[in-house]
Structure 1
Amino acid sequence: MALSIHLNAQVYPINGLELAVNGNDDHFKRTVSVSTESGITYLNIYLSASKKAIPKPISINFKQPSIDIQSYLSPYGANAESNATSLYNYPISRMIPVSFAAKSKFTSATMDQPSITFINNNNKNRLTLAASELTYPITFLAGENEDNGVGFEIRMGLFEYPTKSLTSYQVKIRLDHRDINYNSAQKDLLKWWQTENNLNFASVPKAAHLPFYCTWYALKADGVNAENVERQAKLAKELGCETIIVDDGWQKAQDAKAGYCLYNGDWEVDTIRFKDFKSHVKKVQNMGMNYMLWVGPTMIGEKSKIYAKLKNKMLYKADWAAAWVPDPRFPEVRKYLTDRLVSLMKQSGINGYKIDFMDLMNSRFAGKMAYGDGRDYESVEEATVKLLADIYNGCKANNKDVLIEFRQFYTNPILQQYANMFRAIDCPNDILENRTRTLDIRNLNNQVVHADPLAWNEQEKPAMSALQLLNTMLSVPQVSTDLGKMDKNQLKMLKFLLSQWRDFNETLTRGEAFNYGPEAFYTWSETSLDNETVIVAYQNSTLNPQKINKKSMIVNATHQDQLVFNMDKDFGTRNLTVYDCSGNIIKKEKVNFKGLFKINVPGSGIVRID
């Protein structure tokens, strides 16, 4: 099926839907066609002009009938046209709002990715809608409406935010209605994005797959100094961690309590806290630990030395952080930030960076948009991608195994070219949030997904503390509790569970994963790679895994003392060893993995099949 009509607005029938392409633009001729390939339909939009111009807004509107749709996975991101806010104002929601209350979501190169997936309560895809455009802003709005049949009004917006002057442009809108597991639909989407945009994802060193320690929740900024970092690194290594992230507090900022980021931008080591930083880094590395530093390149504080030089090259002020967001369209801004981070890495010998707050650079708050006045880019998003590419390439030239961590919301596939690790946004001591965010991000991310650092009260029982790790089992753990305050039972639990995680780390981070019950913030997961399988139960549910490989692990990440299975396949009789969360053997038994049965395993315990 193919239509080709040169009109300003037209309705296109697709799989029983009527897609309306709206928007008038005197500068551009618009050509729209529809094509189908392997059961997936594409709305192809082409723009052409005789001379350069910034395209005017285009919207794609249609109504998706509510046929076996119970929930959806939408972009997190910020509300379009909202004020600058901190990262904590973007909650997870599975609720499809009514149309009159629905808010448009902003996506761009630095804010999530342009897709939305409608699902039923049996993990089946009902519609995965996406755009091929990964750099320029795209908005999504979805809301329930009963007019002309109960369903969901859906709107995608293009060019609603400034991009750049163009003479030609094309974008594909992808509609996947296949009746398949939504995990498969999303993984196929990532492959399509990679092909359409010719993406070369960053290499992922082995260290990115292995457990981390992060100082943030354990020490905060005030507790970061050479002595404390070295003590935590030594204890973390003994437990099975391979990398330490030294978070905020390492840089000069003696009166930083007056504002979170007042001194950000200089990135100079505090010589009171670290008398000989290079020797300190080497000492930690000699323990067998990689060393990473936290930086926030989008935050320039007014008390930093660089502020005076860059103050006329800012996008806007992030009042909540007492800092300015620099404008990456200026080559001086990109060069300074790149040179500073690359030189700091060379001088100190660190292994990489935790790069924070890059989602603040986007065209929602771009201020002056005109090309020139010293800017060499019109598009904020294009310039930010260039900045991150320069930082990554500069660091990688210094260390081919450089470790670079980004965080939600800047998880866009185009940015997966410049980082090896993507971390869940801050959610300390929040099992549901950490689990949901790590599993939500996984299908649409080629790199290694990391949990937000794990923290708990030092008086907590080991079985309860263990839930923090077990509920984020399909991501790389980052421990961030003060190990010096943990009693021997907490440390025993951590060492045992991290050893089990390490034993299956490739399967957990790189296996073919199926995550069930997304509408309920996930009930259980399974992941398999080669001859290994891991099954993780997060809530009371009946488990029916597709595989039980020769080497398998079953994780009880609940409070209950049993797991219930109802197997469609007959995997035969297997030898089991049941452990509590501290590694004490509870029992050994033979179980026939066929039909309906249960395994008695303590809450936070695991089962090994070898």
Structure 2
Amino acid sequence: MHLKTILAFFLFYSFLSTLPGQNAVENFSMAGIPMQLTYSEGAYDVSISTNRVVQGLEIATIHLRSDQKFSTQEMSIKWAIPSSNIAGYWGTSAFMNKTVRPDWWPSTEKSMLSRAAPVICLYGYDDVNQHTFAVSEALNTVVSSTAIREETGTVHNEIKLFTEKHKAIREYEIQLRLDTRNINFASALKDVNQWWETFELYQPARVPEAAKAPVYSTWYSYHQNLDSESMLRECRKAREMGYTTIIVDDGWQTLDSNRGYAYTGDWLPERIPEMKELVKEIHDLGMKFVLWYAVPFAGEKSQAFHKMKGKFLTYWDGQGAYVLDPRYPEVREFIINTYVKAVEDWDLDGFKLDFLGRFRANDETELTAENGRDYASVNLATDRLMTDLMIALRKIKPDIMVEFRQPYIGPLMRKYGNMLRAADCPNVALVNRVRTTDVRLLAGESAVHSDMLMWHYDEPVQFAALQLINVLYSVPQISVRLEDIPDQHFKMIQFYTDYWVKNRDVLLEGEFFPQNPLLNYPVLVGKNDRKSITTLFEDRLVAVDLSTQPAFDIVNGKTTEKIIIDFSGEKGYYAFRIVDCMGNESATGGMTVKPGVKVFEVPAAGMIQFFKL
């Protein structure tokens, strides 16, 4: 037996000896690693089977079954491995701290239908996958964790199921996928996503072309102070720059400008009564029109509150809104009819659907299908709501656009929506980079969008440009007032938007290789057969293989001007061009490029481009 496997068994059983007694235990192994399933004894029969897909990739199927309905109790799967070249962990909630924490404070991912995704990737200092585990359960709550044990230097992993109240069932099945292959961590995560896509429940929505084009958003630039004339003026300028969709955010539905949602739920265009005419004028400019909605809310001062009274999950204290309970068929009908009517009456092209994470059970939720409810499970009812909604909308407009923001980015959310946006991070370019990159790693073909870009209009243009450069590998959403920004800012947006549109096939649709997740991705690379684009956010050596890259751009996402390139492969003659963030050329010409290290002076927030002649 391999020494590493023997050590893993020894560590695992030492680890188990410290655990308190459990009702029942099933032992099994994956990739030579001993694992333990603990569960409530006697309520149901348990069977476990494992299947090796390829060397280093295995899937275990756990099946629970009983002739009688049973109430589920917490169940866990635990295992331990030596911490060998484990630099950090990747999870959808890890955000800016991707370190593996000690076992008295585990690094934890809590996922469900509308929050996060059930996967953890342990990666090495060389960005190579060491241990990626994921489960097939993306509907109900799963708590996944990883932690380092100080005394032994071992990493202890756990997956908890049924940690929250669950309706009584007769049968349940879940698959656990374990990947220990020596591949790039991004490739390991891409494979997890492709595995999820094989399940019928997680079939992703088709992505229309419009979802992959730059967006103008009203949120940061206008907040709730919207008016048709201002939006039309902004759209005229945005369209000239290559923006083909406007997202009209919160504020259109009420004259109340206070923060909160007390007046939300009726979805009448109080602030923009000429909604139909506005949409037509936007369409006449050649742009799509997407409208914001807070799906679960019935504000305490809305007519929806009185209409749906008694059909709520909870009250959001401080925001003045009740959360509708989708287990009532009348609630689902009300929500679906709201959006269908909006498309039919106003000719909308899509929706920005917010706050789906509020559809969740709590300790006081009665998980039974009675008293007017036709579902016991809130998650199942939410899936039914969203599935029926998308069927209804796609009958009217097959290319309907639907945007969700982090953390609503898991496998099930891709079934309903086709645009996944980074969570709010106004004016923080680094955070936008981390969030768009994290979403991109599990998004498959879904269009990943940046959070809306904004900055102060006195910002030096090269620093304002960093907002765009940090999100080049996602669809940019701009939210500055184009009428008011300085000319230099306008030219910068125009240059980088034009660059993004011309290179979308590389930046958004090409292979994506983010580097050093533990350091918040200081280097991002996109490539296809046509060219590669590398973006630097720190002073680092860029490796370029001349044999495989006929064209390549290096974008300087730093405030320093030196770009250091280590060329390898066969020498060749290349045209080159150096530009600043507004597209102004500082150098151009041709040169023979041969293996070795060469230093170039590139303006901050500018780029150097090479094309083989």
Instruction: Indicate conservation of the 8 Å contact 1:316/1:365, yes or no.
Output: no
Tell me how far apart the structure 2 counterparts of residues 367 and 218 of structure 1 sit (CA, whole Å). Answer: 39
**CA offsets, 1:19-42, max 9 Å, x none?**
111011422100122332212122
Counterpart AA for 1:150: G
Q: Following TM superposition, by how much is the alpha carbon of 1:352 offset from its aligned partner in structure 2, in angstroms?
A: 0.6
Distance 2:233 2:557 in 1: 30
Contact 1:40-1:175 within 8 A present in 2 as well: yes
Q: Counterpart of 2:14?
A: none
User: Per-residue displacement from partner, 1:87-140 (whole Å, max 9, x unpaired)?
Assistant: xxxx64212221112364321111111001111121111111100112111111
Cα distance in 1 for partners of 2:465, 2:441 equals 25
**Cα distance change on mapping 1:591 and 1:335 into 2, 3 Å:** farther
CA contact (8 A) 1:566 1:597 kept: yes
Map residues 190-589 of structure 1 onto 2, 5 A cutoff: 190-197=193-200, 199-221=202-224, 223-252=225-254, 254-257=255-258, 259-270=259-270, 273-364=271-362, 367-446=365-444, 447-545=446-544, 549-570=549-570, 572-589=572-589
SS of equivalent residue, structure 2 residue 483: helix
* 1:122 has 2:126 as partner: yes
Residue 321 of structure 1 and its aligned partner are, at CA, apart by 2.8
Give distance in 1, aligned partners of 2:276 and 2:441.
39
- Given candidates 4, 10, 17, the residue that maps to 2:33 is 17
CA distance in 2, matches of 1:17, 1:10: 14
CA contact (8 A) 1:8 1:30 kept: no
State the Cα deviation string for residues 168-196 of structure 1 (Å, max 9, x = none): 22111111111110011011111111114
Instruction: Work out whether residues 234 and 483 of structure 2, in 8 Å CA contact, stay in contact via their aligned partners in 1.
Output: yes
Distance 1:245 1:146, change over 3 A: same
Contact 1:256 1:263 in 2 (8 A): no
Q: CA deviation at 1:391?
A: 2.2
Q: What is the match of residue 106 of structure 1?
A: 110
Separation of aligned partners in 1, 2:438 and 2:364: 29
Q: Residue 568 of structure 2 contacts residue 594 of structure 2 at CA under 8 Å; is this kept in 1?
A: no
Partner Cα separation in structure 1 for residue 166 and residue 396 of structure 2: 33
Q: Secondary structure of 1:332's partner? A: helix
Measured after TM superposition, the shift of residue 384 of structure 1 is 1.2
Question: In 1, are the aligned partners of 2:368 and 2:377 still within 8 Å (CA)?
Answer: no
Spell out, residue by residue over 1:386-445, the C-alpha distance to the aligned partner (whole angstroms, 9 max, x if none): 222222222221112211111111111122111111000000111111000110111211
CA displacement at 1:551 relative to structure 2: 4.2
* Distance across 1 between alignment mates of 2:568 and 2:34: 40
CA–CA distance in structure 2, aligned partners of residues 365 and 609 of structure 1: 60
- Counterparts in 2 of 1:568 and 1:423: CA distance versus 1, 3 Å: same
Cα contact 2:452–2:478 (8 A) shared by 1:
yes
Q: Is the 8 A contact 2:96 2:520 kept in 1?
A: no
In the TM superposition, residue 306 of structure 1 has moved relative to its aligned partner by 0.7
| In 2: Cα distance, 1:321 partner to 1:333 partner | 21
| TM-fit CA distance, 1:48 | 0.8
Work out which of the residue numbers 142, 149, 163 in structure 2 matches 1:145.
Answer: 149
Give the 3-state SS of the residue equivalent to 2:62 in structure 1: strand
Q: Which amino acid aligns with 1:172?
A: Q
How far apart are residue 328 of structure 1 and its match? 1.2
Alignment-mate amino acid for residue 33 of structure 1? S
Change (3 A) 1:593 1:121: farther
Are 2:50 and 1:50 equivalent residues in the alignment?
Answer: no
2:93 matched residue in structure 1: 76
Does structure 1 retain, via aligned residues, the 8 Å contact 2:205–2:415? yes
Provide the C-alpha distance between the structure 2 equivalents of 1:246 and 1:597, rounded to a whole number of angstroms.
47
Aligned residues: 586
Distance 1:552 1:285, change over 3 A: farther
Helix, strand or coil: the match of 1:324? strand
1:577 CA drift (Å): 1.0
Tell me which moved more, 525-534 or 175-184.
525-534
| Paired residue type of 2:162 | F
Identity %: 29
Question: 2:184 — aligned with what?
Answer: 181
Partner residue in 2 for 1:609: 610
SS in 1 for 2:508: helix
Distance across 1 between alignment mates of 2:432 and 2:571: 32
Q: Judge conservation of contact 1:162–1:379 (CA < 8 Å) in 2.
A: no
String of CA shifts for 1:309-341, please: whole Å, max 9, x gaps: 223111112224332211111111111111101
**What does the per-residue CA deviation read over 1:516-552, in whole Å, with 9 as the maximum and x for residues that have no partner?**
1111000111112342322211222222256864344
Instruction: Please give the secondary structure, in 2, of the residue aligned with 1:180.
Output: coil
In the alignment, structure 2 segments of 5+ residues that lack a partner are: 1-22
Q: Mean Cα displacement is larger for which, 401-410 or 524-533?
A: 524-533
Provide the C-alpha distance between the structure 2 equivalents of 1:299 and 1:416, rounded to a whole number of angstroms. Answer: 22
Counterpart residue identity of residue 119, structure 2: S
Q: Within 2, Cα distance between the matches of 1:535 and 1:66?
A: 31
Q: Using the alignment, how far apart are the partners of 1:76 and 1:290 within structure 2?
A: 32
CA drift at 1:54? 3.2
Deviations 1:466-491 (A, max 9, x none): 00000110000000011122011110
Instruction: Give the TM-score normalised by structure 2.
Output: 0.92
Residue pair 1:108, 1:362 contacting (<8 A) in 2 also? no
Change (3 A) 1:105 1:183: closer
Amino acid at match of 1:538: F
**CA distance in 1 between partners of 2:489 and 2:367 (Å):** 54
Residue 156 of structure 1 is aligned with which of 144, 156, 159? 159
**In structure 1, what residue type is equivalent to 2:223?**
K
Provide the C-alpha distance between the structure 2 equivalents of 1:305 and 1:239, rounded to a whole number of angstroms.
Answer: 41
Q: Contact 1:580 / 1:602 at 8 angstroms: preserved in 2?
A: yes
Q: Distance in 2 between matches of 1:598 and 1:368?
A: 66
Contact kept? 1:526, 1:533, Cα under 8 Å: yes
Secondary structure of the residue that 2:412 maps to in structure 1? helix
Instruction: Give me the whole-angstrom Cα distance separating, in 2, the residues matched to 1:570 and 1:128.
Output: 37
Query: Given the alignment, which residue of 163, 169, 173 partners 1:170?
Result: 173
SS of residue paired to 2:236: helix
Shift, 1:276, TM fit? 1.8
Scaled by the length of structure 1, what TM-score is found?
Answer: 0.92
Counterpart for residue 63 of structure 1: 80
After TM superposition, give the deviation of residue 568 of structure 1 in Å.
Answer: 4.6
Relative to 1, partners in 2 of residues 1:522 and 1:50: Cα closer, same or farther, differing over 3 Å? same
C-alpha contact 1:138 1:159 (8 A) present in aligned 2? yes
CA distance in 2, matches of 1:374, 1:280: 40
Letter aligned with residue 606 of structure 2 = G
- Cα 1:500–1:366 shift into 2, 3 Å: farther
Query: 1:593: how far off?
Result: 5.8
Residues 569/111 of structure 1: CA separation in 2 closer, same or farther (3 Å cut): farther
2: CA distance between counterparts of 1:48 and 1:284? 56
Most deviating of 578-587 and 228-237? 228-237
What SS does the corresponding residue of 2:299 show, helix, strand or coil?
Answer: coil
- Cross-structure match for 1:26: 42
Letter of the 2:45 partner, please give it. Answer: K
Give the Cα separation in 2 of the matches to 1:212 and 1:545.
33
| Inter-partner Cα distance in structure 2 for 1:300 and 1:455 | 30
Contact 1:294–1:356, Cα closer than 8 Å, also in 2: yes
**Counterpart amino acid of residue 245 in structure 2:** T
Of residues 503-512 and 212-221 in structure 1, the stretch that sits farther from structure 2 once superposed is: 503-512
Coordinate RMSD, CA, aligned: 2.0
Structure 1 CA distance for aligned equivalents of residues 170 and 453 of structure 2: 49
| Residue in 2 that maps onto 1:595 | 596
